[in-house]
Every structure is written in C-alpha cells, then in structure tokens.
A and B are shown apart, each in its own frame.
Chain A
C-alpha cells in the first residue's frame, strides 16, 4: 500500500463521515432541553447587537437564545428549505416582503401582537400583516429619501424642477432599471402598483400600473432620460461616487448610504422626495422584523421573546443604535428621531407605503425595471408602458 493511498483513504473517509454527520449535526438544539432554548437566525452583521438582548432575556426567563449569524442573501431560501425538515431555526430575522413567499410555503407561524399592535408605526403594522393575519414582529422601517449636500445647496427644494436646477441629482439605476428608487415619482403621478382592498392589504387583481397616471409617468421618464437627469448607466457605486466627490448635490438613496456620506465629511440634510407633479411622492417602506417558524417546537417562548421582549421600547432602541434605521415601535421611533437624519427619514417615511409582499409583486419586478430603463433610454413611452402592463397582467394570471 502506498503512502498516497493511505492519505487518500484517510481524507476521503474523514470527509464522507463529516459530510454525513454534518447533515444532522445542526439539530443539536431540539434534544431534551429544547424547551429552554431558542435558535434565532440573524443577519451576520447584527449578531453582536442582539447578543446583549439575548443575554438579558435569558437572565430574565431562563430561556437560552442562540443567535446564528447568516448571510442575508441566502437566509430566506435556507429558511424555506429547512423549516419543513424540522431543522430550521425557531425565529428568523427578515424583511416584510418575504411574507408572500413564506406564507405560500407554510413555513411561518402567525404572531399575536395583541394590544401592543397599536404601539407600532402604521406602515410597520400594515407591512407585518399578510392576508389579514400578523406574521412578523417589526423592528425597523427603512425608506429612501433625498440626501442633500448642504455645502452645495443650502435650501431644500420644493419641487423636482427646483431640485435639478441648482445641482446635479443622481439616483441608482442600472441596465435593468431600478423601479424601487423611481417609485416615489411614479406615485406622484397617481399610479401605485396595486390598489388596496378593504382591509388595507394589496389586491393582486387590481393592477394600477395601467392607470392614466402610469402613462403620464412614462412620458416623464422619457423626458428625464432625454434630458440626462436619469441615466441607466449610473449604478449604485457610480451614484455614490458622484455624491461623495461633490459632482452631485442630491442623491436619492436609503439610510444605508448615509454613513458613507457622513464619513466623507459631507454635511448631509435629509429632504423629502421632491414631487414632479405636486402630489405627494411616496417611497416604498421596507420593514424589517422577525418571523416564527411554523415547525418551531418552542412557539410559546418564541412568541414571548418577540412580542413581550423585542417589542419593548428599550430593545428597539438598542437595535436602532446598532443599525441606525428608524425603529418600528412608535415610542422608540420618536425617541430615535432626536437625531436630525433619522427625523428626516421618519418624516419621509410617514408618506411611505409598504412594498407589496403578495406573490403577484414578483411578476411586476420581472418586467418593471427593464421597461423603465427602456423608456429612459429613448423607447416609446406609451407603447413600452402598455407592454409592461400587458406582460405583468399576463404573468399574474
């Protein structure tokens, strides 16, 4: 027997054994002492923040909270795939627009907020509700707003035309468009994606894209594209670079980019999105929160941890301090708004609408950005927008 052969057999069996064992080793939590332990998947960047909260909760109730840092990119798919096998976590941190998918896959359990529901920002509560049932404990609300370099333009503009007159305006686009960032303008033309039903949820059968406002918006897009105000060659990095080096005075973006601007020494003011029509420009609000797994064997403790602990002002403020996005609990949000930047985003967010979580929205995303990009690049606005409406209608059916 050769040395290589021996090494090979060692390596191979070790790998096989570890692989096979690895398939099952992740389930350590649900053995005998399962009742006193909760497994929580969180965005890897927030493990440190939540650790204090988890420790404090354990001290209070004796329930151990094990935080597992995961990459945001595959958290949702992993959760959907692993819950049915019984190996998923008890709780997962995520965004409200996952709800349609989580619910269609039956992997998420309803959450009873009880009387505490009134304590949340209306947009957060609306986002946490799907088909009339609350599934998510919201902890933060995120929306875009206009960042203004006060050194270049000291006064907030009142309308879109006033904004593009004194300084350059940039917004993240890309070859396939970026409808999320253009949505405030679209709503200003009175063309939301979906209408809402009596309960305030989005109604997939009521596609509003094709309303007259939608075509007016398409014409506006074409005009801005021709004028060079909107440019599909500007992606996120280019937009950021232009604002940071002072080429652009206005940047339509989210709170996640404020840090970079402040670090670059720019005196930033947060303005509402200037409307091109006079009607309010409502950005999408993205609400972050926690979901309970449908197959969790510790739902009672999970409910208690979320509703009675994460849902308190102190914990929401702790989470805010780490993430710097507006807390979903009204009391915590008001406290956090002592920071002018947060207050700026909160003021814009008051006009925000939750991003639709219904599965039909997936069909909209598929075509929306490409159509907008085509219009900006000179395609016929009416025909292209009509095609978008037709494609989306066909895809939803």
Chain B
C-alpha cells in the first residue's frame, strides 16, 4: 500500500544509497544489536567447533562447518538475500538430518558393512595376526623387564627354570647375560636402561609389535609381554605376506588371498574373519530380491503391509471424522472436556501404549480376557487372524485422535454459508455431509491421509511392541510372522541373531523408500486433481 503511493521514477545510485542509510537509521537499534549478538554467539560456537575439529584433523567436517558459518553470516548481514534468510535454517537442517542420512544409507546399501566386515583391511590383518598368536604348549611365564638402548627396545627376562638372565631384541634372539638381580628376577643389565612401568605403559604400540625370538628355531616361539611385566612364548598360526597380500595358515599351509570380496579367502571358498568393509555394487539389491529365504514370505508381508496401512488410515480417518462431526454440535455441553479426553491417546508415546495393549491382550492374564470377557481365553495376539485384527484395533486407538484433531480444524474452515445454502436447497444432513462437507474436507485432509499412509507403511514401533510380528509363519525358514510389515521384516532379516547386515538392511530400506515415494507421488497428483475440481 505504502509503496504504491511513492513516486515510481527510477532512483539514482546516490538516492538508493541515501535511502539505505535512512532505512538503516530508522530501524530499531535493539533488533540490530540482538542480531549481531546472536550471530556472534553462533560464530563463537562455530569457531570453537573449528578448533576442536582442527585438533582432530577432521578436514571434511571442518570445511563444512566453515562453509556453513560463512554462508550464514553472509545471508544474515546481506540486505538483498531476504528469501535466503527464511530458507537457510530449514535448508541446513534438511541437509544435516535428511539428505545426509539418505545419502549415507544409500552408500551403505552398496557395501558389505555388517558382521565380519566392520573395519578397514589393515585392522582386519592386525586383528587376525593378533588372534593367531598361540602360546607354546607347556612353556613357562618369564618375569620380564623392558630395557632400552639407543632407541632399540628389548626384554630382560629371567628364566624361571635356571634363574639366569636373558636379553634379546626383535632382531637378536634371547641370550644369557650378567645382570643385576632383585628378589630373584633380573632388573638391570649394563649398557641398557631399564624402563619403569609408567614408561612401559606409554610404549604400548612398540611393545605390541615387540617379539623376541627364543632361539634360532622359529618353532620355539617368540617372547612377548602383553602386560609389560610377564613374558610368554608364542608361535603364530597365521603369516601375512604383505607383498603378495596373502595370509598363510602355518599349520595346514592353506593360502588365503584377497579376491575382492572383503575377506581373505582360500581356494575352496573358506573365509578368514574378520574381513573388511568394501563396496560390492548391486549385490545387496540382488540378494534382497533373489534370496530364497527372504523371497518366500515377501509377498504375504507386502500384501499385509499395504492392507495394514490402508485399513489403518481409513478406520482412523472415519472414526476421527465421525467424532469431529459429533463434537461440532454446538448444543453439546462440556465439549472441550470430551475433546481433551479423546485426544489423550495421542499424548501417550505410541510404543508405551502398544506395550500396555500387549499386556492387556495377554491370553490368560490380560485385562481384556480376565475382566471384560470374564476369564475367556481369546488368543488376541497368538491367532494369525485375530492378531491382525488386534494390531488394527490398537492402531485405531492410537491413530484416531490425530484424525479427530485434523478433521476438527478442517471442518471449522468450511464456511457456514455453504452449509446454509445447501439446507435452503433442501439437502438432508447426509447429502450435506456427502456432497458438501466431505469433498471440501478432503481437499485439506488428503495430503495428511497420504502422509499417514506412508507413516503406517513404516509403523515399526506398533508391530514390534505389540506382537513382534508374531505369530510366526509355520512354513518359512526365517523368523517372520503373520503381522510383520516390510520394515519389521527387514529388521528381523538384518538384525536378529548375532549377524548384523547393515548393507542388506540399507538396500531394503532403499527399496521400501522407492515404493513409498512412488505411492506418495501418485497420490499427490491425484490430490491436485481434487483441488482443481473445487
């Protein structure tokens, strides 16, 4: 309004500058100060984070922090980037908590990350070699002191049988030396410095790799001192050849080579675990659709997932709508009181409610059978059909308050005159509802119904807390049951037992994402059509 009253002739550069200064001067000083103060706090935190990250050499994260901070400062000090001021917080959150997670899940879907493929190759090799150290049978424990000479570390050991002092390094096998004894154990030798225990603890990395050969024969083993005070003789069951990149079993002579599968593998296909994490292309996706054990119940589970989500949305919506219509009636007393009571289920955490329902539906001890049905034994959660009904009932209880709230709001948004006009034209209440209110309501509510559908497709909490997917199918060999939905089945396939398969689970999530996204896109198109209709 104000703008249109001002002269519209183009301003000169000087005029624009003058206008800017005038505008800046006219702005309340408090807001500007507050803005500077808040940005200063943000920058201070970012600066602290940058120092911490620098100290830990996290270059990528450091670069991100710096970039975000600079961008935020530019956006909020600039006068031009008004839309960016509104969008920036949302965009940063979106990238941080959604886009990054999505991309990372996608990446994991292409790796073999999971039990046995957990770290890097170097870690796998060092772990394999460490575990392959076997104590020489019937060998004694040697009291040991760690000694040092010109940066070379050695062991000054006391032979428990003869009481003689033995000295050796990684290169030189143990030999007898004259040493100073204290309480029966050698503690010092000429030319070498005996290190105190505190120094020994600090030399962890050096000591771990220090193995002093007992004699010329490698089968006698090497002396190692895991706690820096007592030495034991070990032989290694595995040998790593860094040049050929193979590991050899010294007892059987089997050679394990890196064949690109993320583990050292022998000719006959046996793998040495731990292996390491590596990318495997589309293997996980191929397994997700071809693996016998998964494919079997997949169809039944997929069908139930959609039935569950669809029926849940429909029942919760219509119950919510019905209640909203009833409570719209002005003649009812204590309407707000009733409304609050109806919203209560929505206020409890869903997983808690599901657990309580699971207890109430217990066949022999549950409240429902014991009190309501007077001691009947109705298998609410253990009969395949009844378990599905129970899941839907509990989800109805959990979900209708949301629909009630939404419908209540949407109904209030429908102008009364439309209603009155219909009544004047002689429509009965059902016609008013069916022809006027419902279509108008659906315009506002349809996107929420789609969102609710997508939510229920992935409603893991309810299924896991109420039935854990049970009762199980009798005829399949993975622990999947009649009430399992896709996401809980994925969870079971990937995480039950001792084997974690994050790669496969991620691949599954991506597949489910594609399904849900497709449905959402189609439905939103339909909604748009609905909108144009009105």
B202 contacts chain A at the CB level, 8 A cutoff: yes
Is the pair B201, A301 in contact by a Cβ cutoff of 8 Å?
A: yes
Tell me the residues in window 1-23 of chain A with beta carbons closer than 8 Å to chain B beta carbons: 1, 3, 5-21, 23
Is the pair A366, B118 in contact by a Cβ cutoff of 8 Å?
A: no
CA distance A15 to B228 in the complex (A): 45
Q: Pick the residue among A80, A111, A176, A300 that contacts B118 (CB under 8 A).
A: A80
A133 contacts chain B at the CB level, 8 A cutoff: yes
A77 contacts chain B at the CB level, 8 A cutoff: yes
- Residues from chain B with a CB closer than 8 A to the CB of A297 are 204-205
Tell me the residues in window 128-153 of chain B with beta carbons closer than 8 Å to chain A beta carbons: 128, 130-131, 133-135, 141
Q: Pick the residue among A1, A19, A84 that contacts B76 (CB under 8 A).
A: A1
Stretch at the interface among A102-110, A154-162, A182-190, A337-345: A102-110
Is the pair B201, A9 in contact by a Cβ cutoff of 8 Å?
A: no
Residue of A nearest to B32 (CB): A1
A51 contacts chain B at the CB level, 8 A cutoff: no
Given the interface contacts A105-B116, A294-B130, does A13 sit within 8 Å of B68 by beta carbon? Answer: yes
A166 contacts chain B at the CB level, 8 A cutoff: no
Q: Pick the residue among B31, B118, B126 that contacts A1 (CB under 8 A).
A: B31
Is the pair A100, B498 in contact by a Cβ cutoff of 8 Å?
A: yes
- Residues from chain B with a CB closer than 8 A to the CB of A176 are 468, 470
- Residues from chain B with a CB closer than 8 A to the CB of A367 are 479
Is the pair A104, B115 in contact by a Cβ cutoff of 8 Å?
A: yes
- Residues from chain A with a CB closer than 8 A to the CB of B382 are 175, 377
- The 8 A CB mask of B453-482 against A (1 = contact, 0 = none) is 000000000000001101110000111000
A205 contacts chain B at the CB level, 8 A cutoff: no
B208 contacts chain A at the CB level, 8 A cutoff: yes
Residue of A nearest to B497 (CB): A362
Tell me the residues in window 333-370 of chain A with beta carbons closer than 8 Å to chain B beta carbons: 359, 361-363, 365-367, 370
Is the pair B128, A14 in contact by a Cβ cutoff of 8 Å?
A: no
Is the pair B204, A9 in contact by a Cβ cutoff of 8 Å?
A: no
Residue of A nearest to B132 (CB): A133
Given the interface contacts A13-B42, A13-B46, A110-B130, does A104 sit within 8 Å of B53 by beta carbon? Answer: no
CA distance A16 to B42 in the complex (A): 10
CA distance A35 to B34 in the complex (A): 46
> Shortest Cβ distance from A243 into chain B, in angstroms?
14
CA distance A6 to B75 in the complex (A): 11
B101 contacts chain A at the CB level, 8 A cutoff: no
B41 contacts chain A at the CB level, 8 A cutoff: yes
> Shortest Cβ distance from B45 into chain A, in angstroms?
5
Is the pair B41, A14 in contact by a Cβ cutoff of 8 Å?
A: yes
B56 contacts chain A at the CB level, 8 A cutoff: yes
Is the pair A9, B38 in contact by a Cβ cutoff of 8 Å?
A: yes
- Residues from chain A with a CB closer than 8 A to the CB of B176 are none
Given the interface contacts A21-B52, A362-B499, A370-B479, does A114 sit within 8 Å of B86 by beta carbon? Answer: no
A101 contacts chain B at the CB level, 8 A cutoff: yes
Is the pair A25, B38 in contact by a Cβ cutoff of 8 Å?
A: no
Residue of A nearest to B377 (CB): A233
B448 contacts chain A at the CB level, 8 A cutoff: no
Tell me the residues in window 100-135 of chain A with beta carbons closer than 8 Å to chain B beta carbons: 100-101, 103-107, 109-112, 114-115, 131-133
A234 contacts chain B at the CB level, 8 A cutoff: yes
B230 contacts chain A at the CB level, 8 A cutoff: yes
Is the pair B56, A27 in contact by a Cβ cutoff of 8 Å?
A: yes
Is the pair B498, A359 in contact by a Cβ cutoff of 8 Å?
A: yes
Is the pair A111, B34 in contact by a Cβ cutoff of 8 Å?
A: no
Is the pair B126, A294 in contact by a Cβ cutoff of 8 Å?
A: yes
> Shortest Cβ distance from B214 into chain A, in angstroms?
16
CA distance A366 to B133 in the complex (A): 33
B72 contacts chain A at the CB level, 8 A cutoff: yes
* B side interface size, CB within 8 A: 86
Given the interface contacts A61-B198, A391-B477, does A105 sit within 8 Å of B118 by beta carbon? Answer: yes
- The 8 A CB mask of B27-46 against A (1 = contact, 0 = none) is 00001001100110110011
- Residues from chain B with a CB closer than 8 A to the CB of A6 are 31, 34-35, 38, 76
CA distance A17 to B203 in the complex (A): 35
- Residues from chain B with a CB closer than 8 A to the CB of A131 are 131
CA distance A16 to B61 in the complex (A): 11
B345 contacts chain A at the CB level, 8 A cutoff: no
Tell me the residues in window 149-195 of chain A with beta carbons closer than 8 Å to chain B beta carbons: 175-176
B92 contacts chain A at the CB level, 8 A cutoff: yes
Is the pair A16, B92 in contact by a Cβ cutoff of 8 Å?
A: yes
Given the interface contacts A36-B201, A362-B497, A367-B479, does A175 sit within 8 Å of B381 by beta carbon? Answer: yes
> Shortest Cβ distance from B448 into chain A, in angstroms?
25
A321 contacts chain B at the CB level, 8 A cutoff: no
Given the interface contacts A298-B204, A370-B472, does A83 sit within 8 Å of B499 by beta carbon? Answer: no
Residue of A nearest to B64 (CB): A20
- Residues from chain B with a CB closer than 8 A to the CB of A68 are none
Is the pair B46, A299 in contact by a Cβ cutoff of 8 Å?
A: no
Given the interface contacts A14-B45, A110-B130, A395-B477, does A36 sit within 8 Å of B363 by beta carbon? Answer: no
B215 contacts chain A at the CB level, 8 A cutoff: no
Is the pair B131, A20 in contact by a Cβ cutoff of 8 Å?
A: no
> Shortest Cβ distance from B54 into chain A, in angstroms?
10
CA distance A111 to B131 in the complex (A): 10
> Shortest Cβ distance from A293 into chain B, in angstroms?
10
Given the interface contacts A106-B127, A132-B134, A175-B382, does A234 sit within 8 Å of B365 by beta carbon? Answer: yes
Is the pair B134, A1 in contact by a Cβ cutoff of 8 Å?
A: no
A303 contacts chain B at the CB level, 8 A cutoff: yes
- Residues from chain A with a CB closer than 8 A to the CB of B439 are none
Given the interface contacts A304-B229, A395-B477, does A299 sit within 8 Å of B118 by beta carbon? Answer: no
B110 contacts chain A at the CB level, 8 A cutoff: no
Is the pair A13, B72 in contact by a Cβ cutoff of 8 Å?
A: yes
B232 contacts chain A at the CB level, 8 A cutoff: yes
Is the pair A101, B498 in contact by a Cβ cutoff of 8 Å?
A: yes
A229 contacts chain B at the CB level, 8 A cutoff: no
- The 8 A CB mask of A305-329 against B (1 = contact, 0 = none) is 0011000000000000000000000
- Residues from chain A with a CB closer than 8 A to the CB of B388 are none
Given the interface contacts A1-B31, A132-B134, A231-B364, does A17 sit within 8 Å of B65 by beta carbon? Answer: yes
- Residues from chain B with a CB closer than 8 A to the CB of A295 are 119, 123
Given the interface contacts A297-B205, A362-B498, does A25 sit within 8 Å of B69 by beta carbon? Answer: no
Residue of B nearest to A134 (CB): B135
Is the pair A9, B497 in contact by a Cβ cutoff of 8 Å?
A: no
Is the pair A1, B201 in contact by a Cβ cutoff of 8 Å?
A: no
Is the pair B202, A35 in contact by a Cβ cutoff of 8 Å?
A: yes
- Residues from chain A with a CB closer than 8 A to the CB of B134 are 132-133
- Residues from chain B with a CB closer than 8 A to the CB of A107 are 118-119, 127, 274
- Residues from chain B with a CB closer than 8 A to the CB of A362 are 496-499
B227 contacts chain A at the CB level, 8 A cutoff: yes
Tell me the residues in window 56-114 of chain A with beta carbons closer than 8 Å to chain B beta carbons: 61-63, 77, 80-81, 83-84, 100-101, 103-107, 109-112, 114
Is the pair A24, B204 in contact by a Cβ cutoff of 8 Å?
A: no
- Residues from chain B with a CB closer than 8 A to the CB of A235 are 362
- Residues from chain B with a CB closer than 8 A to the CB of A8 are 89
CA distance A253 to B279 in the complex (A): 46
In the A-B complex, the 8 residue pairs with the closest CB atoms: A362-B497, A106-B274, A84-B119, A35-B202, A362-B498, A106-B127, A21-B49, A233-B364
Additional pairs, 12, CB under 8 Å, beyond known A20-B64, A132-B134: A5-B85, A9-B89, A15-B93, A16-B96, A17-B45, A17-B69, A84-B120, A104-B273, A106-B274, A304-B197, A365-B496, A377-B382
**26 chain-A/chain-B pairs, Cβ below 8 angstroms:** A1-B31, A5-B85, A9-B38, A9-B76, A10-B38, A12-B72, A13-B42, A24-B56, A35-B201, A63-B198, A106-B119, A107-B118, A110-B226, A175-B468, A175-B471, A176-B468, A294-B126, A297-B205, A298-B204, A300-B225, A304-B227, A304-B229, A308-B227, A366-B479, A370-B472, A391-B477
Give B contacts to A, CB under 8 Å: 31, 34-35, 38-39, 41-42, 45-46, 48-49, 52-53, 55-56, 58, 61, 64-65, 68-69, 72, 75-76, 85-86, 88-89, 92-93, 96, 115-116, 118-120, 123-124, 126-128, 130-131, 133-135, 141, 197-198, 200-205, 207-208, 225-230, 232, 273-274, 277, 362-365, 381-382, 467-468, 470-472, 477-479, 496-500
